Structure 1
């Protein structure tokens, strides 16, 4: 019988970069639970996903009841639900027993859990206080959550399209200077052209951001010059414009990545946790301090933070498209 260790879990299931909430507040507990679960039970990832859904339902019920002690219970259940949600993927990677359908179920349960708990929290507080502001926050939170999902996928597609075109240009293949339609699900015509040529070698191109993401201790100037690129590959930096404008960014990013923390400090995970964990926990503060509920201020600040970080991502992408055009012209020239 296989005996997994904590080191196995860290090596085989930890992401190279993750949300700070996951790195510091979830993984230390989830990893230890994964070791126990993998060694002592036959529980499958889908069963863990179902358990996370049950805890999420319990959290929603607690939020709907509205009193401070129910809010605290709901916040704790929501966090434990997220811990289980992280465990199912770790179990799947550790024991190699995941499935495509399981990944779909995990995604759907995530969305149902957040929207169900968020609405239960805000509707429950509206019913308890009669303050309409709770109802007004519901469409705002929903819109921002959908926006960050749509924006994230489209930004990823656009970046991938730019990388493929730059690889094609570096190989001397013809390529359209326009970025492919991000809504298209088809592979760019030139993206896999090298795979169709007998004896074609891997594209001799690496991207600055990807190299530093995996090796944050490398010297930036040496990476740009190609002296630290694997296999003598050509290094392309499509984020030079952003790094030039914000000289402090690269140093901060490297320090964060050394701890596996991604620079996107307020992502969807933090957004969900601040609304469904931090906000309801502030009910305890109202018991010991002469303040009203802090659920509204925490929710508003969370909305402002997620919107700000999404705007930064869009701005960074815009600068990258300009660097892409310059780099593409240089490669083609």
Structure 2
């Protein structure tokens, strides 16, 4: 196949919004490598996924040794593993060779890599120091990684459900009121930020897809982020700045947490301190996402109530005819 110039490869393969670690430290390396791989090799996305896992296991083997030089080596190998992990999806998008099985494989291997590296890193430190706190830290890392992705999946399902119900209600309003359907449908869309939040970061492809660019119609006032924006007036300004640089507003997501634990902590030789700080940051951002979801569901219920009232007012009452019989 003809491989387009690098600028076109970036447009096709890089996500519109991604983790800041990926945007700043991975994409500048991964995207050119993807172009080179597609042009000069027959390597498939699944093969890259397997290679990422092998490097992840290599990083774990380094972490298990416990010494600082081994930790540095493990951090470097882990980062290379993550670059490959980002390349498989990009290569699939560029060549069209992606598959549902490949997406599943990528997800499962990511979780295996985190599990094995957490056990190896903290186990190595426990063996070196005898401090049982590292065992609990390993459990905390695995738990937080699991919690992050389970929570993200459920939030995505909830938002998808709200979006579907709003679209159906908008279509019914358009039918009974003869309002222009496109305008009503636009009003029913959950904003782009809400969709991206579902699996913040596109850390998983489950949340990928075209995002709604149109603003909600102010006449109907159906925007499920209204309550959040009213409470945090500077949010949109910060969000727009980050979006302009392709960075998600979820600044401490699963990716940043992993990079802090498996790259920054080993490099600076502060495994416990960095891991605890990263864990607290992840939990705080998860709570913020949950809080925003709670406000969104309230806006959703108000929007649905508005639709129901509109439909009830536009639907004519059935006429009751009473018949009398003369005796």
Query: TM-score, normalised to structure 1's length?
Result: 0.81
- Following TM superposition, the consecutive aligned residue runs of length 4 or more in structure 1 with deviations greater than 4 angstroms are 211-214, 224-227
Distance 2:82 2:194 in 1: 29
Distance 1:225 1:9, change over 3 A: same
How do 1:46-85 and structure 2 match up within 5 A? Answer: 46-85=46-85
1:299 is aligned to: 275
Q: CA deviation at 1:4?
A: 3.0
Determine if the alignment matches structure 1 residue 267 to structure 2 residue 253: yes
Q: Would the aligned equivalents of 1:4 and 1:39 in 2 still touch at CA under 8 Å?
A: no
Q: CA deviation at 1:267?
A: 0.5
Distance 1:92 1:166 in 2: 33
Distance 1:224 1:48 in 2: 41
Determine if the alignment matches structure 1 residue 119 to structure 2 residue 119: yes
Distance 1:264 1:78 in 2: 22
Match of 1:244 among 230, 234, 238: 230
RMSD (Å) for aligned C-alpha atoms: 2.3
Larger Rg: 2
Query: TM-score, normalised to structure 2's length?
Result: 0.82
Q: CA deviation at 1:28?
A: 0.4
Distance 2:116 2:193 in 1: 39
Match of 2:185 among 204, 223, 231: 204
Determine if the alignment matches structure 1 residue 308 to structure 2 residue 289: no
CA deviation map 1:13-33 (0-9, x unaligned): 111101001000100000111
Query: What SS is found at the alignment partner of 2:249?
Result: coil
Aligned residues: 285
Q: CA deviation at 1:5?
A: 2.0
Query: What SS is found at the alignment partner of 2:252?
Result: coil
CA deviation map 1:140-177 (0-9, x unaligned): 2222111111111111111111111111222227xxxx
Q: Would the aligned equivalents of 1:6 and 1:32 in 2 still touch at CA under 8 Å?
A: yes
1:231 is aligned to: none
Distance 1:15 1:125 in 2: 36
Q: CA deviation at 1:213?
A: 8.3
Q: Would the aligned equivalents of 1:208 and 1:235 in 2 still touch at CA under 8 Å?
A: no
2:108 is aligned to: 108
Q: CA deviation at 1:224?
A: 4.8
Q: CA deviation at 1:8?
A: 2.2
How do 1:124-143 and structure 2 match up within 5 A? Answer: 124-143=124-143
Q: CA deviation at 1:225?
A: 4.7
Distance 1:75 1:211 in 2: 32
Query: Where does the alignment leave 5 or more consecutive residues of structure 1 unmatched?
Result: 174-193, 195-200, 215-221, 228-233, 284-293
Query: What SS is found at the alignment partner of 1:172?
Result: helix
Distance 1:321 1:56 in 2: 39
Q: CA deviation at 1:314?
A: 0.8
Distance 1:159 1:208, change over 3 A: closer
Distance 2:194 2:49 in 1: 33
Q: CA deviation at 1:211?
A: 8.0
Q: Would the aligned equivalents of 1:4 and 1:38 in 2 still touch at CA under 8 Å?
A: no
Distance 1:139 1:6 in 2: 42
Q: Would the aligned equivalents of 2:186 and 2:215 in 1 still touch at CA under 8 Å?
A: no
The structure carrying a bigger helix percent of its residues is 2
Query: Where does the alignment leave 5 or more consecutive residues of structure 2 unmatched?
Result: 176-180, 197-213, 310-327
CA deviation map 1:212-258 (0-9, x unaligned): 989xxxxxxx945559xxxxxx7731010000001011110111011
